[in-house]
Each structure stands twice: as C-alpha cells, then as structure tokens.
Structure 1
C-alpha cells in the first residue's frame, strides 16, 4: 500500500515539473550563466567588498594617525616661530589646508555611448558621468588620492530570453583596461539619493520597459580618464544544447 502511494506521488510530481517547465518555455527561454562565470563574479564581489572594507578601515586609521602627527608638528612649529605660520598663507590670503584638494570640483560630463547585445537584444545607453562626487563615506579614499565616480546608465532589456541584467556587468579600470573593478553603489546609495542621483537597480528582462539609474565607483588613484567595460558572460539555454557566447563592449569616461 505504501509503495503504491509513493509511486502515485512520484508520478504526480514528475507531471507537475513537466507542466511547469513547459509553461516557462512558452513564456521565454531562460539563459543560465556558466558556472565558472557565476562563481568568478561571486568571488570577485566578495573579495572586492572585503578588500574595500579593510582598505577603508586601514585608510581611516592611517589618516587619523597622520593627522595626529601633523597636528603635533604644526603646534611645535607654531611655538618656535610665528613667521613660519604666516608663510603658509597663499598669495590670495587663503591658509594652507589641503583637505579635499585631491578631489577637485564635482562636475558632470557627457558620454553618449549606446550599443546592443546582439544575442540578448539588450539595448544599453551610457548617458553621462559625475566626476569628483562629494562623498563623506569615502572621504579617506579621496584624501589618499582616489575619487568617487558616478555613471548614468539606461537599459532597455531584450525579450528573447529571461534573466537579470546586473550592475556587475559594468566594471571600471584605472589602469587603461588591464584590471577592472566592480561598482560600490550599495555603500553609497543614501548619499547618491540625497544628491539627486537615483542608484541602479538590477533589471529583470521579463519586466520589459526602460530602466535608468546611477552606478558608483571608487578608484584608488584618480585618473584623467577611466575605461569602462560592459561584459555579459556566456550562458546556456535551459533545456537545450544551445550556448550563448559572451558579449563585451569597452568605452571611456572622459575628464571634466
């Protein structure tokens, strides 16, 4: 009796799975990323977040220590000679604080880059970028010579396949394209919204429509220009042997 019930349950389950899969395939085909690509992105995301967290803590600690040394040195110099403090004044009368000097003035530049992923039929427009974004959360990185860069992206997803278009598809390079880093939008969302830059949200292709938002990057060394790479990894259509090759597109963020 138990064997008959188990066999009946198994048959029903198989029928249910078959119907469910058939229903999905009628709606759209699902492209599943290659396992190696998914694992690589997951590891890179974790490593980047860990590296950045450790770097920010280390940067802040080192900056606090350096500030203490500078304060002590300045006080000693001031006590020894009043003329030395007056010599730090510039010709226009401003006194010599270098705080924020490495960041420069915030400004927006036009990019106007548009392209289409031929396999997925996603249309991507990179509209503009904000250089020297004023961020208190990344103040230590800015003081050490880095920069916060925002990138405005507009996407119209294709309807041939389902799946997500994620922020990790767009990476930044500060060395001309040799090494690329993921965005750090998650840690700056509140500051971005407060400044009027709505953060990027991952896009489900099944939702259709057009989606627009901003990504945030924090290069360690400020450059005149940066290279951005859009990369959609290879995949396989579920339930078939069809493979979808990867797609990449590279362009630059110009200087102010």
Structure 2
C-alpha cells in the first residue's frame, strides 16, 4: 500500500510540473483567428512570441504539436492562417490568384514569347509604415513599370503589364512568424478587387535583369531584408493601389486579441 501511494504521489508531482511548464509557454503563443474563409495563399503568417525557449519546446512533445507549426516550417507559422482573413497572406507561388473574384493570368505559360510593350521605367515611392502590434517596419522604395518579360508576353499583348515593387523590411521581435509577398496585393480598379503577386513565376527573369526577388522574412531572424515583388495586372493603368494586410490573432490560452493591420498606397506611373 505504501509503495502504491508513493507511486501515485510521484506521478501527480511530475504531471503538475509538466502542466505548469507547458502553461507558461502556451499562454505566450499567438494563434490566428479562423474565420472560415479560404484563398490560394492562406495559412502563411501566424504569430507567436519570439521569446520562447526553443530548446524547451523541443523537449515537450505536446507543446511542439500545438505550436502553430514552428518545428515543421520556418518560425512555425505556416500551419494556420495568421488571420489576414485566410486569403490575405501566404506564398506567392500561385500564378494569378485573386481575392474578390479577380481573373487568373492567361499568359503565365512558359510558351509565351516576345517582350513587353511600352518603355520600361522606374518610379520612386518612398512610403514607410510600421505594424504597431507586430512592430514590423516596412519601407516601399520604388517600382518598375513595363518590366520587359518574355514569360508574360501574352498578358502584355492583351493589355496588361508586368510591375515590380521594391520593399525593405525590418521585422519586429515581439512575435515569430513570416512576412511574405502575399501580404502585398495589387488592384487595378481603385481597390474594388485585389490580386496576389506572381513573383515565383518571374524570379529567373527578375534576377537576370538585376532585380533580386523578395524572399520570405522570418521575424525570428531579425535583420533587414530587401527585394522585389512582381505583379501582372490584366489591365494596364496609370496608377495601381497596393494593400498590405496582416491579419488578426489571439494569444493562446487567453482572451488577449492581436488586431489586424492594414494600409494602402499607390504605385505611380514611371
């Protein structure tokens, strides 16, 4: 009987310590709000604090399983949508994805040939803003209009153009997660509809022309990151509107909310 009681007390003490350890870590995590919407670039930018002890996380299987995917994808945020309403963040690998019912780019085939019409030129933007919750600092430096692209020649011939946008990002250290090109979407109708970038399909041409493509930024990495994002609007306009949006979330284990952040700016003519 004494041995049985001693074993029970020991097990209870171990369980209590485990729960206390896990609770302290889980309370600090941030998970995205789930609103049921969908999109080609959803599930990309969840948030959780960057101050967690990663070594401790790896020693606790339950916590690793509940951590928005930090052990399986960079900074652990791709397993759930960060709340940019599910369709508003994510990778830019889909060619011609849209929000609000935009059409896909019919000229993304590698069989496209020829060069863009119009004169390629660069326009200065000089827009700066900060996400107050995530503490990310973002600078929009410049844009290239009428980018020469053989790959998107069909879209250009049908009245569109290839536009490049240069951004510089210094991520905050308050939470972990990714800042991706999918957070920057373009509208050619004054903001009625926005569509995702098409950087992935144009990386080779961009590099060849001296425009290094924007790569995903992990907040845990810190530092400053700069690169170009590519868009292929169906209809060429004098100016375009860009929307940057980081969705809402909440701290796991609490009722604390992390509100969404959105801002817009224009790409002028060159």
Indicate whether 1:56 and 2:56 are aligned.
no
TM-aligned CA distance change 1:57 to 1:159, over 3 Å: closer
**Counterparts in 2 of 1:143 and 1:18: CA distance versus 1, 3 Å:** farther
Secondary structure of the corresponding residue to residue 241 of structure 1: coil
2:145 counterpart of 1:115? no
C-alpha spacing 1:103/1:12, structure 2 compared with 1 (3 Å): farther
| SS of corresponding position for 1:110 | strand
Deviations 1:140-193 (A, max 9, x none): 101111100000000111111111111111100000111000101111111111
Match of 1:91 in 2: none
What aligned pairs does 1:139-218 form with structure 2 within 5 A after superposition? 139-218=153-232
- Distance in 1 (alpha carbons) for counterparts of 2:202 and 2:148: 11
Provide structure 2 residue ranges, at least 5 long, that are not aligned to the other structure: 1-9, 43-85
Number of residue-to-residue matches in the alignment: 209
Instruction: Map Cα deviations across residues 202-246 of structure 1 (whole Å, 9 max, x no partner).
Output: 111111111111100000010000000111111112232111111
Range moving further from structure 2, 117-126 or 37-46:
37-46
- 2:145 equivalent among 115, 131, 145: 131
- TM-score (normalizing by structure 1): 0.70
CA gap of 1:243–1:193, structure 2 versus 1, over 3 A, is same
Normalised by the size of structure 2, how large is the TM-score? Answer: 0.67
Matching residue of 1:90: none
Structure 1 residues 97-124: Cα deviation after superposition (integer angstroms, max 9, x where no partner): xx75x72011111000001111111111
The verdict on how the C-alpha distance between 1:239 and 1:142 changes in structure 2, with shifts beyond 3 A counting, is: same
Of residues 15-24 and 109-118 in structure 1, the stretch that sits farther from structure 2 once superposed is: 15-24
2:67 is matched with none
- Residues 231-246 of structure 1: matches in 2 within 5 Å? 231-246=245-260
Specify whether residues 33 and 133 from structure 1 end up closer, same or farther in structure 2 by C-alpha distance, changes over 3 A only: same
Question: What SS does structure 2 have at the residue aligned with 1:36?
Answer: coil
RMSD of Structure 2 on Structure 1 (CA): 3.3
User: SS of 2:194's equivalent?
Assistant: coil
Which residue number in structure 1 is paired with residue 45 of structure 2?
none
3-state SS in 1 of match to 2:38: helix
Cα 1:137–1:235 change in 2 (3 A) is same
Which structure 1 residue ranges, 5 or more long, are not aligned?
Answer: 1-7, 65-98
Cα gap change, 1:112 to 1:10, in 2 (>3 Å): farther
Aligned twin of 2:34 = 35
Return the structure number with greater helix share: 1
Structure 1 residues 186 and 12: CA distance shift in structure 2, 3 A: farther
Q: Is the 8 A contact 2:107 2:153 kept in 1?
A: no
Cα shift at 1:15 = 6.0
